[in-house]
Homo-oligomer: A and B are copies of this chain.
Amino acid sequence: MGRKAANRRIGITDVAQHAGVSLATVSRVMNGNLSVDPDIAARVRAAATELNYHPDAVGRSLALGKTDTIGVVVPDLANPTFQAMLRGVSRAAAQDGYRVLIADSSEVSSEEAILAGEARRRCDGIVLCAPRMVDAELDALIPSLHPMVLINRNTEAPGTPSLLVDYGQGIQALAVHLTGLGHSRIAFLSGPPRSASNGLRLQGLEKFRANHPGIELTVLPGGSSFEAGHESVDGILASGATGVLAFNDLVAMGLLSGLHERGVRVPQDISVTGFDDIPFAEYTTPPLTTAAVPITEVGEQAWHRMRDLLGDGASENLRTTFQPDLQQRGSSGPAPA
Protein backbone atom coordinates (compact mmCIF):
# COMPACT_ATOMS: atom_id res chain seq x y z
CA MET A 1 0.00 0.00 0.00
CA GLY A 2 2.06 2.89 -1.25
CA ARG A 3 1.25 5.95 0.77
CA LYS A 4 1.62 8.12 -2.29
CA ALA A 5 -0.10 11.39 -1.56
CA ALA A 6 -2.56 9.36 0.44
CA ASN A 7 -4.02 12.05 2.61
CA ARG A 8 -2.03 15.10 1.67
CA ARG A 9 -3.87 18.34 2.12
CA ILE A 10 -5.57 18.93 -1.19
CA GLY A 11 -4.39 22.03 -3.01
CA ILE A 12 -5.12 24.08 -6.02
CA THR A 13 -3.23 21.59 -8.15
CA ASP A 14 -5.62 18.80 -7.26
CA VAL A 15 -8.58 20.91 -8.18
CA ALA A 16 -6.99 21.93 -11.46
CA GLN A 17 -6.25 18.32 -12.32
CA HIS A 18 -9.69 17.15 -11.31
CA ALA A 19 -11.35 19.84 -13.39
CA GLY A 20 -8.96 19.42 -16.29
CA VAL A 21 -7.76 22.99 -16.27
CA SER A 22 -4.66 24.87 -15.21
CA LEU A 23 -3.79 26.26 -11.82
CA ALA A 24 -4.24 29.78 -13.11
CA THR A 25 -7.80 29.13 -14.08
CA VAL A 26 -8.67 27.64 -10.74
CA SER A 27 -7.16 30.63 -9.01
CA ARG A 28 -9.14 32.96 -11.21
CA VAL A 29 -12.37 31.17 -10.52
CA MET A 30 -11.76 31.06 -6.79
CA ASN A 31 -11.13 34.77 -6.74
CA GLY A 32 -14.19 35.64 -8.76
CA ASN A 33 -12.28 36.80 -11.78
CA LEU A 34 -14.94 37.34 -14.42
CA SER A 35 -12.80 36.61 -17.42
CA VAL A 36 -13.36 32.89 -17.35
CA ASP A 37 -15.86 30.86 -19.31
CA PRO A 38 -18.98 30.16 -17.25
CA ASP A 39 -18.92 26.47 -18.15
CA ILE A 40 -15.33 26.08 -17.08
CA ALA A 41 -15.95 28.12 -13.98
CA ALA A 42 -18.81 25.86 -13.05
CA ARG A 43 -16.66 22.79 -13.62
CA VAL A 44 -13.94 24.24 -11.43
CA ARG A 45 -16.36 25.15 -8.71
CA ALA A 46 -17.82 21.66 -8.83
CA ALA A 47 -14.39 20.12 -8.53
CA ALA A 48 -13.56 22.46 -5.66
CA THR A 49 -16.63 21.58 -3.66
CA GLU A 50 -16.31 17.90 -4.46
CA LEU A 51 -12.75 17.83 -3.22
CA ASN A 52 -13.72 20.18 -0.40
CA TYR A 53 -10.96 22.52 -1.43
CA HIS A 54 -10.12 25.58 0.60
CA PRO A 55 -7.23 27.77 -0.46
CA ASP A 56 -4.30 27.73 1.91
CA ALA A 57 -3.99 31.04 3.69
CA VAL A 58 -0.23 30.94 3.98
CA GLY A 59 0.41 30.39 0.31
CA ARG A 60 -2.11 33.05 -0.42
CA SER A 61 -0.47 35.47 1.96
CA LEU A 62 2.91 34.91 0.41
CA ALA A 63 1.67 35.59 -3.08
CA LEU A 64 -0.46 38.54 -2.07
CA GLY A 65 1.96 40.07 0.37
CA LYS A 66 -0.73 40.47 2.97
CA THR A 67 -2.06 38.37 5.78
CA ASP A 68 -5.41 39.99 6.51
CA THR A 69 -4.35 39.94 10.11
CA ILE A 70 -3.29 42.67 12.49
CA GLY A 71 -1.55 42.33 15.81
CA VAL A 72 -2.74 43.96 18.99
CA VAL A 73 -0.23 44.45 21.74
CA VAL A 74 -1.75 44.78 25.19
CA PRO A 75 0.03 45.10 28.50
CA ASP A 76 -2.33 42.90 30.45
CA LEU A 77 -5.08 40.67 29.19
CA ALA A 78 -6.51 40.48 32.70
CA ASN A 79 -7.37 44.16 32.76
CA PRO A 80 -10.95 44.95 31.76
CA THR A 81 -9.89 48.10 29.98
CA PHE A 82 -7.55 46.33 27.62
CA GLN A 83 -10.03 43.52 27.18
CA ALA A 84 -12.61 46.02 26.03
CA MET A 85 -10.13 47.69 23.70
CA LEU A 86 -9.16 44.35 22.23
CA ARG A 87 -12.79 43.48 21.73
CA GLY A 88 -13.40 46.76 19.95
CA VAL A 89 -10.52 46.18 17.57
CA SER A 90 -11.35 42.55 17.00
CA ARG A 91 -14.99 43.08 16.17
CA ALA A 92 -14.40 46.10 13.99
CA ALA A 93 -11.63 44.31 12.12
CA ALA A 94 -13.80 41.25 11.67
CA GLN A 95 -16.36 43.41 9.89
CA ASP A 96 -13.75 44.02 7.23
CA GLY A 97 -12.56 40.45 7.07
CA TYR A 98 -9.47 40.96 9.18
CA ARG A 99 -8.39 38.90 12.15
CA VAL A 100 -6.52 39.82 15.28
CA LEU A 101 -3.42 38.26 16.71
CA ILE A 102 -2.97 38.76 20.43
CA ALA A 103 0.32 39.84 21.92
CA ASP A 104 -0.01 40.00 25.67
CA SER A 105 3.11 41.40 27.24
CA SER A 106 1.88 40.39 30.70
CA GLU A 107 3.04 43.68 32.13
CA VAL A 108 6.62 42.87 31.19
CA SER A 109 7.40 46.17 29.59
CA SER A 110 10.82 45.07 28.41
CA GLU A 111 9.28 42.38 26.24
CA GLU A 112 6.91 44.69 24.48
CA ALA A 113 9.26 45.77 21.73
CA ILE A 114 10.28 42.24 20.81
CA LEU A 115 6.73 41.04 21.06
CA ALA A 116 5.49 43.81 18.82
CA GLY A 117 8.23 43.12 16.30
CA GLU A 118 7.45 39.44 16.14
CA ALA A 119 3.76 40.13 15.78
CA ARG A 120 4.43 42.65 13.07
CA ARG A 121 6.25 40.08 10.97
CA ARG A 122 3.16 37.87 10.88
CA CYS A 123 0.68 40.68 10.41
CA ASP A 124 -0.13 43.59 8.15
CA GLY A 125 0.00 46.07 10.99
CA ILE A 126 0.15 46.64 14.72
CA VAL A 127 -2.09 48.31 17.23
CA LEU A 128 0.18 49.16 20.09
CA CYS A 129 -0.98 49.73 23.59
CA ALA A 130 2.08 50.15 25.75
CA PRO A 131 1.46 52.70 28.46
CA ARG A 132 4.71 52.05 30.28
CA MET A 133 7.14 52.00 27.38
CA VAL A 134 9.55 54.91 27.53
CA ASP A 135 9.22 57.50 24.79
CA ALA A 136 12.66 56.92 23.33
CA GLU A 137 12.06 53.22 22.86
CA LEU A 138 8.69 53.90 21.33
CA ASP A 139 10.10 56.37 18.83
CA ALA A 140 12.84 53.95 17.91
CA LEU A 141 10.29 51.24 17.33
CA ILE A 142 7.94 53.14 15.10
CA PRO A 143 9.75 52.84 11.75
CA SER A 144 10.13 49.09 12.01
CA LEU A 145 6.52 48.56 13.03
CA HIS A 146 4.75 50.74 10.50
CA PRO A 147 1.85 50.59 9.76
CA MET A 148 0.96 51.08 13.36
CA VAL A 149 -1.74 52.74 15.42
CA LEU A 150 -0.99 53.94 18.91
CA ILE A 151 -3.35 53.82 21.82
CA ASN A 152 -2.87 56.44 24.50
CA ARG A 153 0.58 57.35 23.30
CA ASN A 154 1.67 60.34 21.36
CA THR A 155 4.38 60.59 18.79
CA GLU A 156 5.85 63.20 16.52
CA ALA A 157 6.54 60.60 13.88
CA PRO A 158 4.41 61.18 10.80
CA GLY A 159 2.10 58.51 9.49
CA THR A 160 1.37 56.95 12.84
CA PRO A 161 -2.11 57.76 14.05
CA SER A 162 -2.73 57.81 17.76
CA LEU A 163 -5.92 57.59 19.73
CA LEU A 164 -5.86 59.46 22.95
CA VAL A 165 -8.09 59.65 25.96
CA ASP A 166 -8.05 62.99 27.70
CA TYR A 167 -7.29 61.67 31.15
CA GLY A 168 -6.33 65.15 32.27
CA GLN A 169 -9.76 66.51 31.51
CA GLY A 170 -11.44 63.48 33.04
CA ILE A 171 -9.62 63.66 36.33
CA GLN A 172 -10.27 67.39 36.52
CA ALA A 173 -13.97 66.81 35.99
CA LEU A 174 -13.96 64.31 38.82
CA ALA A 175 -12.02 66.64 41.09
CA VAL A 176 -14.40 69.51 40.29
CA HIS A 177 -17.29 67.17 40.96
CA LEU A 178 -15.89 66.45 44.41
CA THR A 179 -15.25 70.08 45.24
CA GLY A 180 -18.77 70.84 44.10
CA LEU A 181 -19.91 68.42 46.77
CA GLY A 182 -18.01 70.41 49.34
CA HIS A 183 -14.85 68.34 49.60
CA SER A 184 -11.82 70.48 50.34
CA ARG A 185 -9.33 67.73 51.16
CA ILE A 186 -8.85 65.48 48.20
CA ALA A 187 -6.42 62.62 47.66
CA PHE A 188 -5.31 61.21 44.34
CA LEU A 189 -4.43 57.56 44.57
CA SER A 190 -2.00 57.48 41.69
CA GLY A 191 -1.25 54.74 39.20
CA PRO A 192 1.96 53.08 38.13
CA PRO A 193 4.72 55.71 38.22
CA ARG A 194 5.79 55.34 34.59
CA SER A 195 2.33 55.02 33.14
CA ALA A 196 1.68 57.61 30.46
CA SER A 197 -1.96 58.01 31.41
CA ASN A 198 -0.98 58.53 35.04
CA GLY A 199 1.20 61.39 33.88
CA LEU A 200 -1.76 62.92 32.09
CA ARG A 201 -3.86 62.65 35.21
CA LEU A 202 -1.15 64.38 37.21
CA GLN A 203 -0.93 67.17 34.66
CA GLY A 204 -4.68 67.60 34.82
CA LEU A 205 -4.53 67.78 38.57
CA GLU A 206 -1.88 70.49 38.38
CA LYS A 207 -4.29 72.57 36.35
CA PHE A 208 -6.98 71.80 38.86
CA ARG A 209 -4.69 72.96 41.64
CA ALA A 210 -4.05 76.21 39.84
CA ASN A 211 -7.75 76.84 39.43
CA HIS A 212 -8.69 75.81 42.95
CA PRO A 213 -6.14 77.27 45.33
CA GLY A 214 -8.29 76.61 48.37
CA ILE A 215 -8.37 72.87 47.87
CA GLU A 216 -5.83 70.65 49.55
CA LEU A 217 -4.81 67.97 47.10
CA THR A 218 -2.42 65.22 48.09
CA VAL A 219 -0.98 62.59 45.80
CA LEU A 220 -0.49 59.12 47.23
CA PRO A 221 1.41 56.22 45.68
CA GLY A 222 -0.83 53.47 44.42
CA GLY A 223 -1.00 51.16 41.45
CA SER A 224 -3.42 49.97 38.85
CA SER A 225 -4.95 46.87 40.40
CA PHE A 226 -7.70 46.00 42.78
CA GLU A 227 -5.09 44.96 45.29
CA ALA A 228 -3.34 48.31 45.07
CA GLY A 229 -6.57 50.01 46.07
CA HIS A 230 -7.25 47.53 48.81
CA GLU A 231 -3.84 48.09 50.33
CA SER A 232 -4.10 51.86 50.22
CA VAL A 233 -6.81 52.15 52.81
CA ASP A 234 -4.46 53.09 55.62
CA GLY A 235 -2.75 55.74 53.58
CA ILE A 236 -6.07 57.21 52.54
CA LEU A 237 -7.39 57.34 56.07
CA ALA A 238 -4.14 58.83 57.32
CA SER A 239 -4.30 61.56 54.71
CA GLY A 240 -7.48 62.88 56.19
CA ALA A 241 -9.01 63.32 52.76
CA THR A 242 -12.76 63.19 52.44
CA GLY A 243 -12.70 62.69 48.69
CA VAL A 244 -10.53 60.16 46.89
CA LEU A 245 -9.74 60.08 43.20
CA ALA A 246 -8.64 56.53 42.46
CA PHE A 247 -6.39 55.90 39.47
CA ASN A 248 -9.03 53.67 37.87
CA ASP A 249 -12.12 51.65 38.64
CA LEU A 250 -10.20 48.58 39.76
CA VAL A 251 -8.30 50.59 42.33
CA ALA A 252 -11.51 52.30 43.40
CA MET A 253 -13.23 48.95 43.85
CA GLY A 254 -10.36 47.67 45.93
CA LEU A 255 -10.55 50.79 47.98
CA LEU A 256 -14.32 50.44 48.42
CA SER A 257 -13.81 46.91 49.60
CA GLY A 258 -11.08 47.92 52.04
CA LEU A 259 -13.06 50.83 53.41
CA HIS A 260 -16.08 48.60 53.87
CA GLU A 261 -13.97 46.19 55.92
CA ARG A 262 -12.88 49.08 58.12
CA GLY A 263 -16.45 50.17 58.63
CA VAL A 264 -15.88 53.43 56.80
CA ARG A 265 -19.07 54.44 55.03
CA VAL A 266 -19.07 55.50 51.39
CA PRO A 267 -20.09 58.16 50.55
CA GLN A 268 -21.12 59.39 54.02
CA ASP A 269 -17.59 59.35 55.46
CA ILE A 270 -15.52 59.33 52.29
CA SER A 271 -16.34 59.82 48.64
CA VAL A 272 -14.56 57.64 46.12
CA THR A 273 -14.31 58.01 42.37
CA GLY A 274 -12.88 55.67 39.77
CA PHE A 275 -11.87 56.01 36.16
CA ASP A 276 -12.74 54.11 32.98
CA ASP A 277 -16.28 52.98 33.76
CA ILE A 278 -15.60 49.31 33.34
CA PRO A 279 -18.71 47.13 33.03
CA PHE A 280 -18.83 46.39 36.73
CA ALA A 281 -18.45 49.94 37.97
CA GLU A 282 -22.19 50.37 37.76
CA TYR A 283 -22.81 47.44 40.05
CA THR A 284 -20.51 47.99 42.96
CA THR A 285 -21.99 49.01 46.26
CA PRO A 286 -22.37 51.88 46.18
CA PRO A 287 -22.26 52.25 42.40
CA LEU A 288 -19.05 53.93 41.40
CA THR A 289 -18.83 57.53 40.35
CA THR A 290 -16.32 57.50 37.53
CA ALA A 291 -15.20 59.02 34.26
CA ALA A 292 -16.47 56.85 31.43
CA VAL A 293 -13.92 56.13 28.75
CA PRO A 294 -15.40 54.85 25.49
CA ILE A 295 -12.66 52.29 25.29
CA THR A 296 -14.42 49.84 23.01
CA GLU A 297 -14.99 52.69 20.61
CA VAL A 298 -11.32 53.55 20.88
CA GLY A 299 -10.61 50.00 19.78
CA GLU A 300 -12.99 50.31 16.85
CA GLN A 301 -11.42 53.57 15.79
CA ALA A 302 -8.00 52.00 16.08
CA TRP A 303 -9.07 49.53 13.45
CA HIS A 304 -10.47 52.25 11.24
CA ARG A 305 -7.18 54.13 11.35
CA MET A 306 -5.40 50.90 10.58
CA ARG A 307 -7.71 50.27 7.67
CA ASP A 308 -6.88 53.71 6.30
CA LEU A 309 -3.20 52.95 6.64
CA LEU A 310 -3.59 49.62 4.90
CA GLY A 311 -5.53 51.21 2.08
CA ASP A 312 -4.25 54.58 0.93
CA GLY A 313 -1.24 54.18 3.10
CA ALA A 314 -2.24 57.28 4.99
CA SER A 315 -4.87 58.29 7.45
CA GLU A 316 -6.12 61.85 7.59
CA ASN A 317 -7.01 61.59 11.26
CA LEU A 318 -3.66 61.33 12.90
CA ARG A 319 -4.76 62.36 16.35
CA THR A 320 -8.13 61.60 17.83
CA THR A 321 -8.88 62.54 21.39
CA PHE A 322 -11.71 61.01 23.33
CA GLN A 323 -13.28 62.88 26.18
CA PRO A 324 -14.18 60.93 29.29
CA ASP A 325 -17.71 61.41 30.46
CA LEU A 326 -18.47 61.99 34.13
CA GLN A 327 -20.74 59.28 35.52
CA GLN A 328 -22.18 60.48 38.77
CA ARG A 329 -23.21 57.57 40.97
CA GLY A 330 -23.54 56.62 44.57
CA SER A 331 -19.92 56.46 45.64
CA SER A 332 -19.59 60.21 45.79
CA GLY A 333 -21.66 62.47 47.98
CA PRO A 334 -21.54 65.63 50.06
CA ALA A 335 -18.50 66.10 52.23
CA PRO A 336 -19.08 65.20 55.85
CA ALA A 337 -19.92 68.21 57.96
Contacts and interface: CB of A to CB of B under 8 A. Distances in A.
B121 A56 contact: yes
A99 B91 contact: no
Contacts of A284: 283-285
Contacts of A101: 69, 99-102
A251 to B, nearest CB: 12
A104 interface: yes
B253 A283 contact: yes
Interface string A103-136: 1101000000000011101100000000000000
A77 B91 contact: yes
Contact of A59 (B62, B84, B100, B103): B62
Interface size of A as a range: 35 or more
Contacts of A86: 77, 102
Contacts of A226: 279, 283
A41 B254 CA distance: 55
Interface string A47-89: 0000010111111011000010100000001100001101100
A106 B84 CA distance: 13
A119 B99 contact: yes
Instruction: State the copy count for this chain.
Output: 2
A273 interface: no
A24 interface: no
A91 B62 contact: no
A271 interface: no
A114 to B, nearest CB: 11
A168 to B, nearest CB: 28
21 contacts: A52-B144, A54-B117, A56-B121, A57-B118, A57-B121, A58-B58, A58-B67, A62-B62, A69-B122, A77-B90, A78-B279, A83-B83, A94-B104, A99-B102, A99-B122, A100-B102, A226-B279, A257-B283, A260-B285, A283-B284, A285-B285
Contacts of A87: 77-78, 104
A121 B285 contact: no
Interface string A212-238: 000000000000001000000000000
A68 to B, nearest CB: 8
Given A58-B62, A100-B102, A77 B83 contact: yes
A102 B77 CA distance: 13
